[in-house]
Amino acid sequence: MKNDTKSNLVGQFIEQYRREYDFFEQASRLAHSQLETALASSGIRAIVTYRAKRPDRLERKLLQRLPEKNYQCIGDIYNDIVDFSGVRVALYFPAERSEVDKVIHSIFSLIGKPKQFPENSKPTYEKRFSGYWATHYRVRLKDVSLHEPQKRYLDAAIEIQVASVLMHSWSEVEHDLVYKPLEGTLSDDEYAILDELNGLVLSGEIALERLQRAIEKRVAKEGTRFTSHFELASFILQTAAPIVKSGVGETALGRVDVLFDLLTKLNLNTPEHIRPLIAALHTEFERRSISDQIIDQVLASDERRYNTYSGIRRKLETDSTVHSKTQQAYASAFSEFLKTWVEFEKKIFNSKRLPPTTKKEHVLSPTVLSLALGGDQQLIKHIERIRMLRNKTVHGHGDATTEELSFATQLLREILNKLNT
């Protein structure tokens, strides 16, 4: 009678879950979209999929758990199951798990610490190999990443599973055979075969890591052109490793795909062109990503390059809903702002106040500004505000109005006049 009552509780829960299924699926889809875009733009090769737990499979799982669980109410079931909404990241290269970890920390709010596998649980069969290698995260979507109608999904807890493509495939087979047996308990022979396959998967992961190192070695050769932003990202990570290790916490590479497009259009997508730019990186990556810093160095004091980059940014913003007249007015104000900014950059870099060593710098650092402007704090403050506007609009990290751009352009011209006199 007691078991019947609990079975009825599971039935009631499943009935309620069917009504909520679309909610969990949509939450999964939003997390998948954000993560897939972030990983791709950071140059991380992965297959990203999503799903909401199917009601029929969930019902079977709950009925299997009944003997060991003491569900008293529907709330207990909600607290017990952590993966109603799920996203899976199947990595081509297992060594990139640490980079995925940084991306996940940067775009989601984490619920507790990530769960690392293998765990210290005792298997039913004495395995020779270590089993499932993966990291599971429980996350929530961030408020700033959602439009107003999507805010209802902020409370959804989403599980993200990160492992290699090989490990995910093996775990699917193992999980369905061991934990969802259709024809009774597995024999020792069947367990041994699964264990053997696990050994092959772990060997495959070692081979994938060697393949990744071979690719890195190939693309680092002088004169070799990067054929994709994935190769560029791999080269940057390898070359910037000494700087990255010295002062980076939770950061991603930024929009490596945009950087790759710019370098390709300017015919600069080779190791010998990128190395000196990486060497000039500063370690405040939380403020400005590696890609943004390299882009700034490439663009410095060259209006033609700014125009090329603006064209790349405009292609990315094809989903804009701004009316054409407003768009034209903004484009005109933005173009005038950039032209004046480039003129200002040239004026600063050609300043007689700068020593020869400082003139080699590619971007307007606080040191360069202070020397060129004679330590004028009021002027420096104005320029810092304008530079924030420039970074926001050029790198697409925020919106600026036509009026803001026009005002900044006027202020820049006044500063230029002051510098000329």
Cis upstream peptide for 355 (omega within 30°) = no
Q: What is the mean pLDDT of the chain?
A: 82
Q: Residue 66 in contact with residue 10, Cβ under 8 Å?
A: yes
Six-digit token string for 215:
């690719």
Comparing C-alpha atoms, which of 44, 34, 38 is closest to residue 158? 34
**Does residue 24 surpass a pLDDT of 80?**
yes
d(CA 241, CA 226): 19
**Does residue 247 surpass a pLDDT of 50?**
no
Phi and psi at 290, nearest 5°, equal -60, -45
d(CA 259, CA 253): 10
Q: Exposure of 409 by Cβ count < 10 A (0-12 exposed, 13-18 middle, 19+ buried)?
A: buried
Output the CA–CA distances (angstroms, integers) from residue 17 to 13, 58, 249, in the order listed. Answer: 6, 9, 39
User: Packing angle between helix 256-265 and helix 229-239, nearest 10 degrees?
Assistant: 100
Q: What is the pLDDT of residues 93-118, one digit of tens each?
A: 998 898 899 899 989 999 999 999 88
Q: Residues with Cβ < 8 Å from 152, sequence gap 6 or more?
A: 23
| pLDDT at res. 226 | 92
pLDDT-above-70 percentage for the chain: 85
- The 3-state DSSP class for residue 203 equals helix
- The 3-state DSSP class for residue 263 equals helix
Choose the weakest-confidence range: 69-78, 325-334, 399-408. Answer: 325-334
Element (H, E) at 110: strand 108-110
| pLDDT at res. 152 | 93
Torsion of CA 361, 365, 371, 377, to 10 degrees: 170
Choose the weakest-confidence range: 287-291, 356-360, 399-403. Answer: 356-360
d(CA 116, CA 355): 52
Return the bridge partners of 381, or none: none
Q: Is the pTM of the predicted complex or chain greater than 0.85?
A: no
Q: Residue 266 in contact with residue 305, Cβ under 8 Å?
A: yes
What are the DSSP calls for 140-196, one per residue?
EE-GGGS-GGGGGGTT--EEEEEEEHHHHHHHHHHHHHHTS-SSSSPPHHHHHHHHH
Amino acid found at 2: K
Query: Tokens 């079931």 correspond to what residue?
Result: 77
Q: What is the pLDDT of residues 199-231, one digit of tens each?
A: 888 888 889 888 888 888 887 887 789 998 888
| pLDDT at res. 318 | 54
- In this prediction, residue 250 has a pLDDT band, given cuts at 50, 70 and 90, of very low
Domains of the chain are 2-207 (3.30.460.10), 229-420 (no CATH)
Six-digit token string for 136:
């599971």
d(CA 26, CA 30): 6
- In this prediction, residue 249 has a pLDDT band, given cuts at 50, 70 and 90, of very low
d(CA 353, CA 368): 9
